[in-house]
């Protein structure tokens, strides 16, 4: 089979599976924590709900918004949101293919799958930003140098990199890795190098602007405060629980990405690219410390920490496609095809195994709704100690999760249920008959869209007691 044909076949197959997984697991992905909260806000306001200035998230939020404008039921809105997240890397990989940058198409798909485990179900702006950054570099490589930019493409380039940066702060490190990797590549001309230096310089400038000049919101300010841990934990950066936990996760879930990174290093050494090999070895290790030291107290939250580790997939995929599989130019060789086939296959198998945990979480919440349905007083305040928090992971999203799950069959079946570690916080509000209690804000029933949440229960809230 011709290299380009088999490469196209792999690209289309992986894209189809990504979309299929997004469709099949749409409830596991959309009815918990951040996605449940953002869906609730989008349906309530009827417009985009950008959090912490990460405006790049609009590319996925337009999907549920469009479904709402089309008058689709709640199931259609949630389905569209999940498909939107899966379609984003597929669309970008397709665009890179159109530009003739098939290697970048594979990097984008690998970035979306190679390390992804629990982050297929707990979604954030990080994976969206990483694949977008790769697409920007695909366009840059398609142009080759600034000398080939048309006048209007300068503004497009600046806007694209600005957007990539504002998807998630950690995208900065992926950008620096890509830029430095190609700067260390021998035989490149001056125009090529200038383009990569400029891309890195723009990101560094944006970081200085955001964190040193502009006022930070509370979320980013808290993240910056975590950097104090480097001073507090020195000289014990290596002997911390988060490193030990990461090693365990790497053996259990992330070994594939390390295998690819190690393979790239060995290949670089065999090609006598010793500086590049040293860079490829030291950068991922330094990055892991950059994550683990500030977040040394988050060892029990794999889904959250995994989100921060996702750039490791870029550190593995870029050398694999541009160093190890650098020939032939028209597509993957037979050996490269089968290596990628196995990598993608193992990645999708790992995601399917992780799905079991998120499905159990979904089933537990549905079971709670079912077992409390016949109670005369159905608006519940539940204490964290009464529920399996190891399964639920975090409780702050519970009011939005239960609202969505209960309203799936019909808007009038919507329920008000909240799990909290501070039930006394709501004591003065329990007798309010038409108030939806949320984690961050409470909402009168009339302020919620009745076509999705037809809340009819005007009784008071009660504290949950299991029978």
pTM: 0.96
Burial 196-222 (b: 16+ CB within 10 A, else e): bebbbebbeebeeebeeeeebeeebee
Mean pLDDT rounded to a whole number for the chain:
94
Contacts with 88 (C-beta within 8 Å, 6 or more apart), sequence order: 59, 60, 128, 131, 132
- Neighbouring CB atoms inside 10 A of 463's CB total 14
Please report the pLDDT score of residue 410 as a whole number: 93
Average pLDDT rounded to a whole number, residues 157-172: 95
Phi and psi at 391, nearest 5°, equal -85, -40
pLDDT of residue 298 exceeding 90, the answer is no
* Pairwise CA distance, residues 441 & 143, whole Å: 48
- Tell me, what's the pLDDT at 4? 82
Strand pairing class (380-383; 462-463):
parallel
**The pLDDT value given to residue 227:** 87
**pLDDT exceeds 80 at position 220:** no
Look at residue 467 and tell me whether its pLDDT is greater than 70: no
Stretch 142-157: mean pLDDT, rounded? Answer: 94
CA atoms within 13 A on the CB side of 101: 24
pLDDT digits (tens, 9 = 90+) for 73-118: 999 999 999 999 999 999 999 999 999 999 999 999 999 999 999 9
Query: Per-residue pLDDT tens for 227-258?
Result: 888 888 888 888 899 999 999 999 999 999 99
Quote the pLDDT of residue 347: 98
What's the average model confidence in pLDDT over 173-197?
94
- Write out the H or E segment, with its range, that includes residue 205: helix 190-208
Q: Which of 195, 102, 185 is nearest to 145 (CA)?
A: 195
Three-class SS state of 381: strand
For the chain, domain boundaries: 3-356, 372-463
């Amino acid at each position: 089979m011709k290299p380009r044909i088999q490469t196209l076949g792999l690209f289309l197959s992986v894209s189809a599976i990504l979309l299929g997984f997004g469709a099949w697991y749409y409830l596991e992905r959309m009815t918990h924590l951040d996605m449940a909260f953002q869906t609730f806000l989008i349906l309530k306001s009827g417009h985009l709900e950008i959090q912490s200035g990460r405006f790049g998230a609009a590319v996925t939020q337009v999907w549920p918004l469009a479904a709402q404008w089309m008058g689709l039921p709640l199931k259609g809105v949630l389905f569209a949101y999940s498909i939107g997240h899966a379609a984003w890397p597929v669309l970008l990989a397709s665009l890179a293919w159109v530009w003739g940058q098939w290697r970048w198409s594979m990097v984008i798909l690998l970035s979306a799958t190679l390390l992804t485990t629990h982050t297929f179900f707990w979604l954030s702006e990080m994976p969206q930003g990483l694949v977008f950054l790769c697409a920007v570099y695909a366009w840059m490589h398609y142009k080759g140098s600034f000398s080939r930019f048309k006048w209007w493409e300068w503004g497009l380039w600046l806007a694209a990199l600005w957007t990539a940066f504002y998807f998630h702060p950690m995208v900065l490190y992926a950008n620096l890795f890509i830029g430095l990797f190609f700067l260390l590549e021998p035989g490149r001309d001056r125009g090529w190098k200038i383009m990569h230096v400029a891309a890195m310089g723009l990101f560094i400038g944006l970081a200085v602007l955001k964190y040193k000049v502009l006022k930070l919101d509370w979320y980013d300010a808290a993240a910056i405060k975590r950097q104090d841990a480097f001073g507090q934990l020195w000289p014990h950066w290596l002997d911390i629980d988060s490193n030990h936990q990461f090693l365990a996760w790497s053996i259990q879930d992330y070994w594939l990405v390390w295998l690819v990174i190690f393979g790239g290093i060995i290949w670089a050494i065999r090609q006598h690219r010793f500086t590049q090999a040293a860079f490829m070895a030291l950068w991922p290790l330094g990055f892991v410390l950059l994550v683990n030291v500030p977040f040394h107290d988050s060892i029990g939250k794999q889904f959250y920490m995994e989100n921060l580790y996702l750039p490791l997939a870029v550190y593995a995929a870029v050398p694999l496609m541009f160093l190890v599989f650098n020939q032939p130019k028209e597509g993957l060789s037979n050996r490269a095809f089968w290596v990628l086939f196995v990598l993608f296959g193992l990645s999708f198998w790992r995601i399917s195994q992780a799905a079991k945990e998120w499905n159990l979480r979904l089933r537990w919440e549905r079971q709670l709704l079912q077992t409390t349905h016949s109670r005369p007083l159905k608006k519940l305040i539940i204490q964290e100690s009464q529920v399996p928090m190891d399964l639920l992971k975090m409780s702050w999203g519970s009011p939005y999760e239960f609202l969505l799950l209960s309203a799936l069959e019909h808007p009038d079946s919507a329920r008000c249920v909240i799990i909290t570690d501070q039930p006394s916080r709501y004591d003065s509000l329990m007798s309010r008959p038409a108030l939806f209690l949320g984690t961050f804000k409470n909402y009168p029933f009339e302020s919620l869209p009745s076509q999705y949440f037809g809340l009819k229960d005007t009784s008071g809230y009660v504290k949950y007691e299991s029978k």
